[in-house]
């Protein structure tokens, strides 16, 4: 009799635990989401004309709205990251896609990467000259090839096979665009674009896309397409997208080190981000955005400004440039 009662009580407790797990925590398909984006770190002056500042605020708001809507409707963080960056690549106000800066030879060379925190799968392209949306090609490298990084002509041949849109290199500039670039270069045109997201299923993704360094030597590749340096995502820790002086981010393996500090040193996301930006990198080198597996987010930089935005399932929707 006593054993029967014990079994009955045990079953009740098991049922109660299962009920709490399903109904009480909100962690069975009802997790929140977070999305953070950046439009580059730089030395944008607070006295920049309102027309330019407002244009950036408007563009960042539209990009963030795209990602928020996808996540709000139960979409994946991968789709949210890609579509946000597609928008920024098509917007000439940013240094990616249509707004890519000029190399020393007066052409454009584009880099991008994307990573899935669930299984560490990733894809990247470097030095492409005819890819309208490099982030989408990076996703194809991840999903449709056994490799991680394609460069130059090989990347573009792969694009043709996978149906990614190619354009003339002239697509990235016109005489009018060249004139705008020359004017904006004196007004601290911002750089690389990126996005990190945590979706309702708890998966972390990141994406980064860039036109590189203004006036760079042909063939130069920065940190944006290099997993571990300028980009990283791992469901055990965080997703990171960096922007700034690429060589410094490569030498310091910035993106991966943030994850490592969290996993091996038990640092919080904020602690790890602040350490890498302010203790490992020199001043005026750049910044980054990140979100961790618990939905905490960070945006840190050691430059004057970093264009950025954050939205989450709790109602936060914020665009910032300086503070």
Q: Mean of the pLDDT values across residues 75-83?
A: 98
Residue 7's pLDDT band, with cuts at 50, 70 and 90, is very low
Question: Residue 104: what pLDDT?
Answer: 84
- What pLDDT, on a 0 to 100 scale, did the predictor assign at position 175? 54
Residue 174 pLDDT class (50, 70, 90 cuts): very low
Q: What percent of the chain has pLDDT over 70?
A: 85
Question: Does the pLDDT value for residue 10 go beyond 90?
Answer: no
Percent of the chain with pLDDT over 90: 80
Residue 142: predicted pLDDT? 98
User: Is the residue at 126 inside a domain?
Assistant: no
Does 89 fall in a domain? yes
pLDDT, average across residues 270-276: 98
Predicted pLDDT of residue 211: 94
Q: What is the mean pLDDT of residues 148-152?
A: 98
Active site residue 192: yes
Per-residue model confidence (pLDDT) at position 186: 44
| Residue 171 CB partners (closer than 8 Å, separation 6+) | 98, 132
Q: Predicted confidence band at 309 (pLDDT cuts at 50, 70, 90)? A: very high
Is residue 3 pLDDT above 80, yes or no? no
For 55-62, what is the mean pLDDT? 97
User: Given phi > 0 = left and psi -120 to 50 = alpha, else beta, which region is 102?
Assistant: beta
Q: What is the pLDDT averaged over residues 203-232? A: 95
Q: Is the pLDDT of residue 299 over 90?
A: yes
Q: Count of domains in the chain?
A: 1
Q: What mean pLDDT is predicted for residues 61-66?
A: 98
Q: Dihedral through CA 61, CA 66, CA 67, CA 72, nearest 10?
A: 110
In a domain, 168, yes or no: no
pLDDT band at 105 (very low <50, low <70, confident <90, very high): confident
**49 part of a folded domain:** yes
pLDDT band, very low/low/confident/very high, at 6 (cuts 50, 70, 90): very low
Say which of 103, 192, 210, 253 is annotated catalytic. 192
In a domain, 92, yes or no: yes
- What gap in Å lies between CA 190 and CA 38, rounded to an integer? 10
Answer yes or no: is pLDDT of 182 > 80. no
Whether 9 shows a pLDDT value over 90: the answer reads no
Residue 204 confidence class, pLDDT cut points 50, 70, 90: very high
Q: What is the rounded average pLDDT of the residues 229-236?
A: 98
- pLDDT value at 48 more than 80: yes
CA atoms within 13 A on the CB side of 221: 20
Closest CA to 229 of 215, 216, 243, 213: 243
- With bands split at pLDDT 50, 70 and 90, how would you rate the model's confidence at 190? low
Structure tokens at 134: 């490099």
Tell me what the pLDDT averaged over the chain comes to: 89
pLDDT confidence of residue 25: 25
* Residue 272 belongs to some domain of the structure: yes
Domain-embedded: residue 315:
yes
Enclosing domain of residue 282: 28-121+187-320
Beta strands of 15-138 (E only): which ranges? 34-42, 110-116, 122-128
The predicted structure's pLDDT at residue 222: 97
Does the residue 5 lie in any domain? no
| pLDDT for residue 76 | 98
- Residue 66 CA to residue 61 CA, distance in Å, equals 9
Return the CATH number at 293.
3.60.20.30
CA proximity to 110, closest of 99, 96, 120, 124? 96
């Amino acid at each position: 009799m006593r054993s029967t009662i014990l079994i009955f009580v045990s079953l009740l407790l098991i049922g109660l635990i299962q009920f709490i797990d399903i109904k009480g925590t909100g962690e069975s398909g009802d997790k929140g989401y977070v999305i953070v984006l950046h439009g580059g770190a730089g030395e944008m002056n607070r006295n920049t004309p309102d027309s330019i500042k407002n244009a950036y605020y408007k563009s960042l708001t539209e990009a963030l709205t795209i990602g928020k809507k996808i996540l709000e409707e139960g979409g994946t963080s991968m789709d949210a990251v890609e579509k946000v960056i597609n928008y920024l690549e098509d917007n000439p106000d940013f240094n990616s896609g249509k707004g890519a800066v000029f190399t020393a030879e007066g052409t454009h060379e584009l880099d991008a990467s994307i990573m899935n925190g669930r299984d560490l799968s990733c894809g990247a392209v470097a030095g492409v000259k005819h890819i309208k949306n490099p982030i989408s090609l990076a996703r194809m490298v991840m999903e449709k090839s056994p490799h991680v990084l394609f460069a130059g002509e090989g990347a573009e041949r792969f694009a043709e096979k996978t149906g990614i849109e190619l354009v003339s290199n002239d697509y990235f500039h016109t005489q009018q665009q060249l004139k705008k670039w020359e004017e904006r270069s004196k007004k601290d045109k911002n750089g690389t674009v990126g996005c990190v997201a945590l979706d309702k299923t708890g998966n972390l993704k990141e994406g980064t896309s860039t036109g590189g360094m203004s006036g760079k030597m042909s063939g130069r590749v920065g940190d944006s397409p290099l997993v571990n340096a300028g980009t990283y995502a791992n469901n055990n820790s965080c997703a990171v997208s960096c922007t700034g002086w690429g060589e410094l981010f490569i030498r310091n393996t910035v993106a991966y080190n943030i994850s490592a500090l969290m996993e091996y040193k038990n640092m919080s996301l904020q602690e790890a981000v602040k350490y890498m930006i302010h203790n490992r990198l020199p001043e005026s080198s750049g910044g980054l955005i990140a979100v961790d597996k618990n939905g905490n987010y960070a945006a840190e930089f050691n430059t004057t400004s970093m264009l950025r935005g954050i939205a989450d399932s709790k109602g936060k929707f914020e665009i910032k440039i300086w503070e």
